Amino acid sequence: MCGIFAYCGPKDNAGELVLSGLKKLEYRGYDSWGVACKNTDSEITIEKHVGKISGVDHLNKDLTDKPCHIAIGHSRWATHGGVTEKNAHPHSTEGNEIVIVHNGILENYEELKKELESNGHTFTSETDTEVFAHLIQENMSDGFENAFKKALKQGKGRYALLAISKDQSKILAARRGSPLIVGINEDAKEYFIASDIPAFLEHTKKVMYLDDEQMVSINDGIKFFGLNTEEEVQKRIIEIDWDIESAEKGDHPHFMIKEILEQKETLSRAINQEEDNILEAAEVIRNAYGTYIVGCGTAGKVGMVGTYLFSHIAKKHINFMFGSEFGSFLPFMKDKSLMIAISQSGETADTLEAIEEAKKKGVKIISIVNVETSTMARISDIVIPIKAGPEKAVASTKATTSQIAILTLIAYACAGKLAEGKKLLVETASQINDMLNPRYEGYIREVAEKIADIESMYIIGKDLNYPIALEAAIKLQEVSYIHAEGFAGGELKHGPIALISEGTPCIAIVAEDETKPHILSNATEVKSRGGYIIGVAPENNSVFDYWIKVPNAGMASPIVSIIPIQILAYELAILRKNNPDMPRNLAKSVTVK
């Protein structure tokens, strides 16, 4: 969940390059940050601070007054140990002999730490990470690479780890379950290592991917090895098609609003899929002995939408479970079962673990991901890219609607009606293009101003829009910090309606289908108890105190219904003086369990 960036190459300002790269990864970790530079005198100097890195222009002079060709850096989202300068990365052994940065959790760090302390090692932080540095130092008599390997073998858990040594002019890096990507500028013999591509996008679009249980050694060249073998692993260079502009805010004040507005284009890109890919996925679903959709957080809510889509469109029963709860359902998985995994990053730890366990039972995997070269994509049998481009705000917006669009296409393909599904989604994308304009944003800002001071609100939906009510609550929680809960409309009278008092805001998501009278009845029940009803619907109704119009999109109703609530969440965050891109306690890609 933290950001890692490193540079090795001919430029002598490696520290400043790493500082710049870390700023582009601040959405991954922002409690604290640090950079380590190895200068031409073989000294390693470390600078680290608590707080955000975005406002920092330069490193301290002791990191920049001598040429530096190797540097590693880290932006932290705290897991072990509080948010303090001592707990910030990089971590080192005494005299900075070994310096490391780490993303992940070392699960057995306590027992390893006790053993190292008995051998005379002294620790200065509360983190699990520092143990890795001392483990490497403990075995340096075997050489840097062997010591690095041995340390990783002793550790349990998921990680992305980088290490430099005072005595070696190289960077070692390895991964198990956490993302790590190598960028290569072949002409300049420059190498970059990062948690995510935007960190080095301005320098190169050529990448090489580390797989799990692999390491890379970089100095004036690059070599990949398996952690459990001495043999070199051959890797191919892949050229990515992302552009710098898509990874930057441009004229927008925040990534979140930029990415909300990009849904005009991203939906069209999601729809414009290779038909053979969608048809293959549909055929596999038709022949599967039980299909299970798995996702976490927002991707989980998208998966819940999928169960309704397949029921209505393809008359097909699809199971859903959150990745973190998958273990309880594993006994039902057979070698003819199918898993559909959904993730923006393709690096979500709980979902990856679910996939790994399913694959042990011979289950086929379809992944719906934004990052086509992610771990999830590489271990799946069928990959369907959502093509949303970089999504940097922590709260997912454009990826969410693209994922729903893909599930809609597959459901229609399962029913033998792919052309009908495409037509529906193309029309929906056109309507969204008309909807997303400054006047619409201003109208939603008005309702945000009316409710900005409240501390609790509720969202109700039915059928396809019940999961959207749950997703709406996530969006409002994430960035506005308002206590928001989503409910199936009919469930209100079974308990939650006791929470309604005079002026309590309640968003009613109303589609133009057979569920309309039922959800309007539920909204009326809330209003009769003093609730303030915000209607998200194609048509106005007397029960609404405030109406937010959306297109009448049929089976694409979940897509059009969530967008205005994304905007509302954003506007509430701004009014409440929150940073919508980096909400407290959250990180973009949850790569730890």
Where in the sequence of the chain do the CATH 3.40.50.10490 domains occur? 251-436, 437-580
The three state secondary structure string of 265-334 is HHHHHHHCCCHHHHHHHHHHHHHCCCEEEEECCHHHHHHHHHHHHHHHHHCCCCEEEEHHHHHHHHHHCC
User: Could you identify the residue written with the tokens 């690059």?
Assistant: 222
Domain 437-580, architecture per CATH: 3-Layer(aba) Sandwich (3.40)
List of residues 6+ apart from 575 with CB closer than 8 A: 448, 449, 452
| Cα(113)–Cα(119) distance, integer angstroms | 10
Mean pLDDT over 292-304 rounds to: 96
2 a catalytic residue: yes
* Start and end residues for every CATH 3.60.20.10 domain found in the chain: 3-245
Whether the predicted pLDDT of 593 surpasses 60: no
3-state secondary structure of 95: helix
pLDDT at residue 103, rounded to an integer: 87
CA-based diameter of the chain, in Å? Answer: 78
Residue 587 has pLDDT above 80, yes or no: no
Q: Which residue has the tokens 């552009």?
A: 243
Please determine, for residue 54, whether its predicted confidence score (pLDDT) is greater than 80. no
Selected catalytic residue, list 258, 392, 527, 588? 588
Quickly state the pLDDT bin for 589 (edges 50, 70, 90).
low
Question: Residue 389 pLDDT more than 90?
Answer: no
Question: Tens digits of per-residue pLDDT, 55-85?
Answer: 787 888 878 888 899 999 998 877 767 889 8
Marked catalytic residue, from 2, 296, 414, 506:
2
Any bridge partners for residue 101, and if so which?
162
What SS3 class is residue 575?
helix
Check if CATH label 1.20.1440.230 holds for domain 251-436. Answer: no
Tokens representing 477 are 């929680």
Q: What angle do CA 62, 63, 66 make, to 5 degrees?
A: 85
Residue with tokens 């940073």: 579
Q: Which one of 1.10.10.10, 3.40.50.300, 3.30.70.1450, 3.60.20.10 gives the CATH number of domain 3-245?
A: 3.60.20.10
Residue 270 is encoded by which pair of tokens?
Answer: 């999601």
Q: Are strands 214-218 and 44-50 parallel, antiparallel or unpaired?
A: unpaired
pLDDT of 135-193, one tens digit each? Answer: 999 999 889 999 999 999 988 888 889 999 999 899 999 998 788 889 999 888 899 99
Residue 29's pLDDT is what? 57
pLDDT of residue 27 exceeding 80, the answer is no
How many Å apart are CA 13 and CA 482, to the nearest integer?
44
| Cβ–Cβ < 8 Å for 100, 133 | yes
Residues contacting 486, CB < 8 A, separation 6+: 458, 459, 460, 461, 466, 469, 470, 471, 472, 473
Alpha helix (H) residue ranges in 157-287: 255-261, 263-271, 275-287
Q: H or E element: which one contains 592?
A: none
The predicted model scores a pTM of 0.77
Q: What is the mean pLDDT of residues 395-401?
A: 95
Mean of per-residue pLDDT scores for the chain: 90
> Would you place residue 318 in the very low, low, confident or very high pLDDT band (cuts 50, 70, 90)?
very high
Residue 194 β-bridge partners? 5, 181
Q: Any catalytic annotation for residue 249?
A: no
Residue-wise pLDDT tens digits, 201-255: 889 989 988 888 899 999 888 999 998 887 889 888 888 776 665 567 777 899 9
Whether the predicted pLDDT of 42 surpasses 90: no
Arithmetic mean of pLDDT, 394-402? 95
* Confidence at residue 17, expressed as pLDDT on a 0 to 100 scale: 92
